[in-house]
């Protein structure tokens, strides 16, 4: 099976791209896929720390692109899953050190031996974002149920359409069903009405995400975490499985069937 | 612009939950974000639309209203442009000219009360003495008069037309 390059982007910062990249990567590795995750946030690297691999960095993405090392040397193997690798970002450079063509080349070199290559995009709509989406076969857009995040997601969707990129699918992160039920938070239906794209995941707000990042153990591996379940479901949907969404109550207290489910 | 938009989207009130407020505000903001047209250009577009319509009908400029909304990822431009047909006999400009058209289209002979509601013979509208209208029997007070034959009069002198009480 040919490798799928998935870019995770958002526009807005802080909505959960890195957390999503780490957890979807781990979830896919957990079901036996060969996964490489790439941190494209040059200068502000974080994927390493969220995955607990920050002490294992020897070479990074810019070293590879500038020819100081072979690709394999920059790939850090995960402690628990030998089929999961991280290519960290450089911390002392910036987005201009990498070009969209560089990213395409790196991914092409990874494709023969991978099932999924997941790229953690930086926030914004400039060079870093363009680098990250250049090699993408699929694009996941992460947003929060909050006005600024949805507005920025809309911008990204528009940019992707204008650039002829593959249609993005939406992950709504940090939903609080108690607030949605009371009508005090945008609901998944509200957000998909507004953005008019398909949903691939709804991740509830979950304190375990904080403790997970504190300890460097992705929350996917925590059986008690609802966010963990959500990330594992996203991985299953990416893999073609039709997984129903967890019950997120719409305002009024009854579950309304989402109109834009993952369609495969 | 606000009036039509409110009618399309509903008006927020003090009890509106913040989730709904967020959705309404986002819909408004995104219409502008997506459109990529300066407000000058938008204004010019609206003016040109009115110009084109004015070639065919008389636009009621004071009551023109526009709204923008989104449909899926596309924009939708909604315009409410009241007009009346050119060279219309009616003097007053009600909203869409439809009422007038209905009335001017209705030409039936009716029975007219000879007296008005007070029972006092008064010079009323032209239709009472119009040669087209047959002389009617005096009606009981409770009878409702029916449709006037002259379209002008029923709008201009409502007290003569339909009140029977």
Residue A105's Cβ-side half-sphere holds a number of Cα atoms within 13 Å equal to 13
The residues facing A5 across adjacent strands are A117
Q: Quick check: A139 pLDDT over 50?
A: yes
Q: pLDDT of A41-83, one tens digit each?
A: 999 999 999 999 999 999 999 999 999 999 999 999 999 999 9
pLDDT at A255 over 50: no
Asked if A193 reaches chain B (Cβ–Cβ under 8 Å), the answer is yes
Numbers of helices and strands, H then E, in chain A: 11, 8
Q: CB B33 to CB A196 under 8 A?
A: no
Nearest to A98 by CA among A141, A123, A63, A68: A63
Look at residue B146 in the predicted model and tell me its pLDDT. Answer: 44
Measured in angstroms, the CA of B76 and the nearest CA of chain A are apart by 14
The pLDDT tens digits for A1-17 are 689 999 999 999 999 99
The Cα A46–Cα A122 span in angstroms is 10
Looking at per-residue pLDDT, the higher value among A255 and A73 belongs to: A73
Q: Which residue of A145, A170, A193, A249 is the best one to mutate when testing the B interface, meaning the one whose CB has the most B CBs within 10 A?
A: A193
Q: Give the pLDDT confidence score for residue B39 in this predicted structure.
A: 81
pLDDT in the model for residue B100: 44
What is the full per-residue pLDDT of chain B (165 aa) written as tens digits?
556 766 666 666 777 899 999 999 999 899 888 987 888 888 899 999 999 999 999 999 999 998 888 888 888 888 999 998 876 555 554 444 444 444 334 344 444 444 444 444 444 444 444 444 444 444 444 444 444 444 444 444 444 444 444
The reported pLDDT for the residue numbered B158 is 43
Distance CA(A133)–CA(A156), nearest Å, equals: 11
Query: How far A176 CA sits from the closest chain B CA (Å)?
Result: 12
- Least confident range from A218-222, A239-243, B129-133: namely B129-133
pLDDT over threshold 50, residue A191: yes
The pTM of the whole model exceeds 0.80: no
What is the structure's pLDDT at A251?
A: 62
Cβ distance B78 to B4 under 8 Å? yes
Closest residue on chain B to A190 (Cα): B23
Contact A115, A33 (CB under 8 A): yes
Q: Which of B123, B127, B96, B91 is nearest to B112 (CA)?
A: B127
Q: What is the pLDDT of residue A112?
A: 97
Residue B118 per-residue DSSP state: T
Position with higher pLDDT, B70 vs A191? A191
Q: Which of A140-144, A245-249, B154-158 has the lowest mean pLDDT?
A: B154-158
CB < 8 Å to A196, chain B? 70, 72-73
What pLDDT is attached to residue B38?
81
pLDDT for res B133: 42
pLDDT recorded at residue B36: 79
For residue B89, give the DSSP letter. S
Task: At A200, give phi and psi (nearest 5°).
Answer: -120, -10
Taking the Cβ of residue A220 and every Cβ of chain B, the question of whether any pair is shorter than 8 Å is answered with no
- Residue A206 CA to chain centroid, in angstroms? 17
Quote the crossing angle between the two packed helices A188-195 and A147-162, to the nearest 10°. 30
Q: Could you report the per-residue pLDDT of A102-120, keeping only the tens digit for each?
A: 999 999 999 999 999 999 9
Please give the pLDDT value at position B71. 85
Q: Which residue has the tokens 């920050």?
A: A54
What residue of B is the nearest CA neighbor of A194?
Answer: B27
Q: ipTM more than 0.90? A: no
Helix (H) or strand (E) holding A229: helix A226-238
Mean per-residue pLDDT of chain A = 93
Interface mutation vs chain A, best among B15, B22, B37, B76, most A CBs within 10 Å: B22
- What pLDDT band is residue A195 in, cutting at 50, 70 and 90? very high
């Amino acid at each position: 099976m040919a490798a799928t390059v998935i870019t995770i982007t958002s526009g807005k910062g802080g909505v959960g791209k890195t957390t999503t990249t780490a957890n979807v990567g781990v979830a896919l590795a957990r079901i036996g896929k060969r996964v490489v995750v790439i941190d494209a946030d040059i200068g502000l690297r974080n994927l390493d720390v969220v995955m607990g691999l920050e002490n294992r960095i020897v070479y990074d993405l810019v070293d590879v692109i500038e020819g100081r090392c072979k690709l394999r040397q920059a790939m850090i193997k995960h402690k628990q899953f030998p089929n999961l690798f991280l290519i960290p970002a450089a911390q002392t450079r910036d987005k201009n050190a990498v070009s969209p063509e560089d990213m395409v080349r790196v991914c092409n070199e990874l494709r023969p031996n991978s099932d999924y290559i997941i790229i953690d995009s930086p926030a914004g709509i400039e060079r870093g974002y363009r680098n990250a989406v250049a090699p993408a076969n699929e694009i996941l857009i992460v947003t929060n149920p909050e006005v600024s995040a949805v507005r920025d997601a809309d911008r990204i969707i528009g940019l992707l359409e204008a650039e002829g990129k593959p249609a993005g699918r939406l992950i709504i992160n940090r939903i609080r069903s108690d607030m949605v039920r009371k009508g005090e938070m945008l609901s998944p239906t509200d957000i998909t009405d507004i953005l008019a794209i398909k949903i691939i995941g709804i991740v509830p707000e979950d304190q375990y995400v904080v403790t997970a990042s504190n300890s460097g153990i992705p929350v996917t591996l925590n059986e008690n975490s609802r966010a963990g379940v959500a990330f594992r479901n996203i991985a299953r949907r990416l893999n073609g499985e039709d997984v129903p969404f967890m019950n997120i109550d719409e305002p009024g207290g009854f579950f309304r069937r989402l109109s834009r489910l993952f369609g495969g | 612009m606000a009036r039509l938009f409110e009618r399309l989207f509903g008006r927020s009130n003090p009890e509106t939950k913040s989730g709904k407020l967020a959705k309404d505000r986002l819909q408004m903001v995104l219409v502008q974000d997506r459109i990529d047209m300066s407000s000058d250009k938008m204004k010019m577009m609206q003016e040109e639309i009115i110009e084109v319509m004015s070639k065919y009908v008389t636009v009621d400029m004071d009551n023109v209203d526009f709204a923008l909304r989104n449909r899926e990822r596309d924009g939708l431009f909604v315009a409410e442009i009241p007009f009346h047909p050119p060279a219309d006999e009616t003097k007053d400009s009600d909203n869409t000219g439809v009422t007038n058209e209905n009335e001017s289209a209705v030409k039936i002979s009716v029975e007219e009360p000879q007296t008005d509601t007070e029972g006092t013979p008064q010079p009323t509208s032209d239709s009472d003495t119009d040669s087209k209208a047959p002389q009617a029997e005096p009606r009981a007070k409770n009878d409702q008069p029916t449709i006037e034959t002259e379209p002008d009069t029923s709008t201009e002198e409502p007290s003569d037309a339909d009140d029977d009480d």
